[in-house]
């Protein structure tokens, strides 16, 4: 099968959409499919993949650029991995007569950046709702109009949101992201009650990732574990939010506790996870949260918020706890509970078995191949 993947996400962005796209491209290529990517730049570590350039941010040339990719690659299926409502509308002519589908990772205003009002949760999200209302209405018109034949999402929560925006439930497919095979390999010497626990979070530094809640929770936890440390790893996606976090760190007197390390290499991230006693994901909004799943292979103790697929990943796991979104005290309580107890000796083996059954990349690829076949027949 010949598959063209189209994405308006910058290829140099860490994690998220580029990481999923890389897995899909490499997985399909390894199964003998002819795959190509139309995006701003080739993806690193995407093997045997033809690339067709797209200008970002997208403009009126997108139709011609994607048209050239379609003419050169002659795909059986076009998979729009990420695209703005405006870009998707501009591609209507190119996609109309072809088998195609779209992955929806989030919908406005969710996971959109607003570079102001970080001190007030209520005002920040109210202003964001107003700012992105036209975009939300545009997506509602797209879905209600039946323009997108099939939509892929990565969590039941996202499926419900897409349906609320107007897409027919029968044309929404929930395909969970994958986790690498094999048991995790935590290397931290595990003390049942470490007085100096190392806590780590990986994610883009933006308001919706909830780092300010994490800092509040770390401040609470410090009374119980006075020598704890907290490392934030992720690219800075909003400089105003980073400045806000610096002020919070100063105000809460956490300068000697918190280490912010943007843009680490994959090797450095792995080393940080290997040193961690606990992994924390304080996000307000997630479409899935691949970072949480990847951390689960290296870190025994996991605490996340009830968004994306975090609760699904944590289910039946004695080393994981899920707290309410935007509830720092709940995060602190969950972390204290896990740090005060010794995890079962077979925790990582059992976790790997559960995740393999639910979230194997092979299952992810199988689901996409089956969906591509259905899209061609429809």
Q: What is the pLDDT of residue 178?
A: 85
Q: What is the set of domains in the chain, with CATH numbers?
A: 2-178+360-377 (3.40.50.2000), 198-358 (3.40.50.2000)
Q: What is the pTM of this model?
A: 0.90
Q: What is the pLDDT of residue 192?
A: 47
Q: What is the pLDDT of residue 179?
A: 78
Q: What is the pLDDT of residue 16?
A: 84
Rounded (10°) angle between helices 328-339 and 211-222: 50
- 366 Cβ neighbours under 8 A, 6+ residues apart: none
Q: How far apart are CA 247 and CA 213, in angstroms?
A: 13
Asked whether the beta carbons of 221 and 230 are under 8 A apart, the reply is no
Question: Nearest to residue 8, comparing CAs of 85, 92, 109?
Answer: 85
> Residue-wise over 205-234: b if at least 16 C-beta within 10 A, else e?
bbbbbbbbbbbbbbbbbbeebeebbbbbbb
Q: What is the pLDDT of residue 271?
A: 94
DSSP string, 253-309: T-TTTEEEETT--HHHHHHHHHT-SEEEE--S--SS-HHHHHHHTT-SEEEEESSTT
Looking at the DSSP bridge assignments, the partners of residue 82 are 7
List the pLDDT tens digit at each of the 378 positions of the chain. 999 999 999 988 877 899 999 999 999 999 999 999 999 999 988 888 999 999 999 999 999 999 999 999 999 999 999 999 999 999 999 998 899 999 999 999 999 999 999 999 999 999 999 999 999 999 999 999 999 999 999 999 999 999 999 999 999 999 999 877 654 555 565 654 567 999 999 999 999 999 999 999 999 999 999 999 999 999 999 999 999 999 999 999 999 999 999 989 989 999 999 999 999 999 999 999 989 999 999 999 999 999 999 999 999 999 999 999 999 999 999 999 999 998 999 999 999 999 988 888 999 999 999 999 999 998
Q: How far lies 347's CA from each of 181, 200, 298, 304, 320, in Å?
A: 16, 19, 11, 18, 10
């Amino acid at each position: 099968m010949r598959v063209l993947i189209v994405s308006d996400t910058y290829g140099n962005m860490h994690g998220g959409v580029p990481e999923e796209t890389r897995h899909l491209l490499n997985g399909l290529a390894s199964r003998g499919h002819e795959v190509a990517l139309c995006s701003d730049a080739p993806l690193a570590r995407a093997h045997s993949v033809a690339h067709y350039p797209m200008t970002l941010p997208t403009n009126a040339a997108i139709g011609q650029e994607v048209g050239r990719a379609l003419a050169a690659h002659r795909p059986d299926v076009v998979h729009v991995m990420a695209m703005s409502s405006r870009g998707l509308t501009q591609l209507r002519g190119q996609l109309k007569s072809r088998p195609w589908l779209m992955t929806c990772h989030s919908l406005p205003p969710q996971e959109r950046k607003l570079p102001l009002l970080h001190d007030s949760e209520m005002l920040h999200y109210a202003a964001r709702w107003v700012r992105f209302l036209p975009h939300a209405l545009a997506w509602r018109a797209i879905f209600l109009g039946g323009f997108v034949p099939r939509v892929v999402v990565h969590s039941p929560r996202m499926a419900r949101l897409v349906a609320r925006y107007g897409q027919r439930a029968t044309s929404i497919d929930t395909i969970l992201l994958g986790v690498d095979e094999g048991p995790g390999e935590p290397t931290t010497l595990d003390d049942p009650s470490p007085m100096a626990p190392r806590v780590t979070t990986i994610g883009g530094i933006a308001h919706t990732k909830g780092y300010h809640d994490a800092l509040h929770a770390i401040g609470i936890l410090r009374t119980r574990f006075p020598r704890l440390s907290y490392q934030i790893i992720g690219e800075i996606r909003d400089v105003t939010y980073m400045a806000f976090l610096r002020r919070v760190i100063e105000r809460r007197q956490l300068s000697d506790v918190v280490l912010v390390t943007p843009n680490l290499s994959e090797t450095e991230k792995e080393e940080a996870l290997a040193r961690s006693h606990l992994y924390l994901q304080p996000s307000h909004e997630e479409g899935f949260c691949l970072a949480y799943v990847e951390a689960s292979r290296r870190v025994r103790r996991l605490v996340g918020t009830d968004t994306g697929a975090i609760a699904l990943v944590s289910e039946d796991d004695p080393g994981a706890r899920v707290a309410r979104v935007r509830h720092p005290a709940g995060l602190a309580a969950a972390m204290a509970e896990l740090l005060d107890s010794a995890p079962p000796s077979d925790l990582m083996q059992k976790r790997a078995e559960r995740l393999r059954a639910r979230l194997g990349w092979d299952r992810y690829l199988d689901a996409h191949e089956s969906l591509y076949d259905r899209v061609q027949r429809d």
